[in-house]
Chains A and B, each alone.
Chain A
Amino acid sequence: MKPVSASPLSPSVKVKLLNAGFLTSEELLQLKPLQLSKEGGLSLEEALEVQQILREGVDLPGEGGAGLGSTALELLQQEERSIVTFCSSLDAALGGGVPVGKTTELCGTPGMGKTQLCLQLCIDVQIPECFGGLGGEAVFVDTEGSLVVQRVADMAQAAVQHCCLQDQDAEQRDALKDFTTESLLGHLYLMRCHDYVELLAQVQLLPDFLVKNPKVRLLVIDSLAFPFRRHFEDLSVRTRLLSGLAQQLIRMASQHRVAVVWTNQMTSQLRGGQWELVPALGESWGHSATQRLLLHWSGGRRLASVFKSPSQSESSVAYSVTREGFRDAGPLASSPSGREQDSSSQSESKQDSSSQSGSKRPRTQEGQ
Chain B
Amino acid sequence: MASKKLRRAGVSQELCELLNRHHVESCKDLLSLTPLEVMRVAGLSYQNALALMRSVSQHCAPPVTTLLELWKPKSESFFSTSLPALDDFLRGGLPLGTITELAGPSGCGKTQMCVMLSVLATLPRALGGLDAGVVYIDTESAFSAERLVEMAQARFPEHFSSRERVLQMASRVHVFRELTCQDVLNRLDRLEVDIISTKAGLVILDSVASVVRKEFDTTLPGNLASRSNLLTQEASTLKYLAHQFNIPVVLTNQITTYLGNGGGGVPGEGDSGYVIAALGNTWSHTVNTRLIVQYVDARQRQIVIAKSPVAPYAVLNYTIQKEGICLDGDNQEPIGEARDPGLQPIRVRTEFKYSLSQAVGTDGGS
A198 near B61: Cβ-Cβ < 8 Å: yes
Which of B108-134 touch A at CB < 8 Å? none
Let me know if A321 is at the binding interface, CB within 8 A.
Answer: yes
Let me know if B104 is at the binding interface, CB within 8 A.
Answer: no
Interface string of A239-251 (1 = CB under 8 A from B): 0110010000000
Let me know if A364 is at the binding interface, CB within 8 A.
Answer: no
| Residues in B neighbouring A148, C-beta threshold 8 A | 77, 91, 95, 98, 309-310
Q: A115 to B155, alpha carbons, bound, how many Å? A: 37
B45 near A8: Cβ-Cβ < 8 Å: yes
Interface string of B7-51 (1 = CB under 8 A from A): 000000000000000000001100110100001100111111000
In the complex formed, the residue of B with least CB distance to A197 is B2
Min CB gap A105→B, angstroms = 15
B46 near A111: Cβ-Cβ < 8 Å: no
Q: A145-B99, A197-B1 are in contact. Are A151 and B91 (CB under 8 A)?
A: yes
If over half of A's interface residues share one DSSP class (helix, strand or loop), that class is named, otherwise mixed; here it is mixed
| Residues in B neighbouring A201, C-beta threshold 8 A | 27, 31, 56-61
Contact among A140, A146, A153, A191 with B62 in the assembled complex (CB-CB below 8 Å): A191
Let me know if B284 is at the binding interface, CB within 8 A.
Answer: yes
Tally chain A residues at the interface, Cβ within 8 Å.
74
Let me know if B281 is at the binding interface, CB within 8 A.
Answer: yes
In the complex formed, the residue of B with least CB distance to A119 is B309
Interface string of A276-304 (1 = CB under 8 A from B): 01000000000000000000010010000
In the complex formed, the residue of A with least CB distance to B42 is A10
Min CB gap A115→B, angstroms = 6
A149 near B67: Cβ-Cβ < 8 Å: yes
Q: A190 to B31, alpha carbons, bound, how many Å? A: 22
Min CB gap A324→B, angstroms = 12
Let me know if A188 is at the binding interface, CB within 8 A.
Answer: yes
| Residues in A neighbouring B62, C-beta threshold 8 A | 191-194, 198, 202
Q: A152 to B284, alpha carbons, bound, how many Å? A: 22
A205 near B58: Cβ-Cβ < 8 Å: yes
Min CB gap B252→A, angstroms = 18
Q: A193-B62, A194-B240, A201-B27 are in contact. Are A275 and B54 (CB under 8 A)?
A: no
Let me know if B220 is at the binding interface, CB within 8 A.
Answer: no
| Residues in B neighbouring A229, C-beta threshold 8 A | 228, 232, 282
B232 near A110: Cβ-Cβ < 8 Å: no
A198 near B340: Cβ-Cβ < 8 Å: no
- A36-44, A179-187, A308-316: which one contacts chain B? A179-187
Q: A53-B47, A266-B281 are in contact. Are A237 and B1 (CB under 8 A)?
A: no
| Residues in B neighbouring A237, C-beta threshold 8 A | 32
Min CB gap B25→A, angstroms = 13
B262 near A195: Cβ-Cβ < 8 Å: no
Contact among B56, B70, B232, B340 with A297 in the assembled complex (CB-CB below 8 Å): B340
Let me know if A167 is at the binding interface, CB within 8 A.
Answer: no
Min CB gap B307→A, angstroms = 4
Q: A58-B46, A150-B92 are in contact. Are A145 and B53 (CB under 8 A)?
A: no
| Residues in A neighbouring B67, C-beta threshold 8 A | 140, 149, 152, 185-186, 188, 190
- Chain B residues with CB under 8 Å of chain A are 1-2, 27-28, 31-32, 34, 39-40, 43-48, 53-54, 56-68, 70-72, 74, 77-78, 91-92, 95, 97-99, 228-229, 232-233, 236, 239-240, 242-243, 261-263, 266, 280-282, 284-286, 288, 290, 306-307, 309-310, 312, 337-343
A-B contacts besides A197-B27, A205-B54, 19 pairs, CB < 8 Å: A109-B340, A109-B343, A110-B340, A111-B284, A145-B288, A148-B310, A149-B71, A150-B71, A185-B66, A189-B64, A189-B65, A193-B62, A196-B2, A197-B1, A266-B285, A268-B263, A274-B261, A275-B263, A300-B337
Q: Could you show 12 A-B contacts with beta carbons less than 8 Å apart?
A: A12-B43, A49-B45, A111-B341, A144-B285, A145-B98, A146-B309, A148-B310, A150-B78, A150-B310, A182-B68, A197-B1, A223-B285
- Chain A residues with CB under 8 Å of chain B are 8-13, 49, 53, 58, 60, 109-112, 115-116, 140, 144-154, 182, 185-198, 200-202, 204-205, 208-209, 223, 225-226, 229-231, 237, 240-241, 244, 265-268, 274-275, 277, 297, 300, 321-323, 335-336
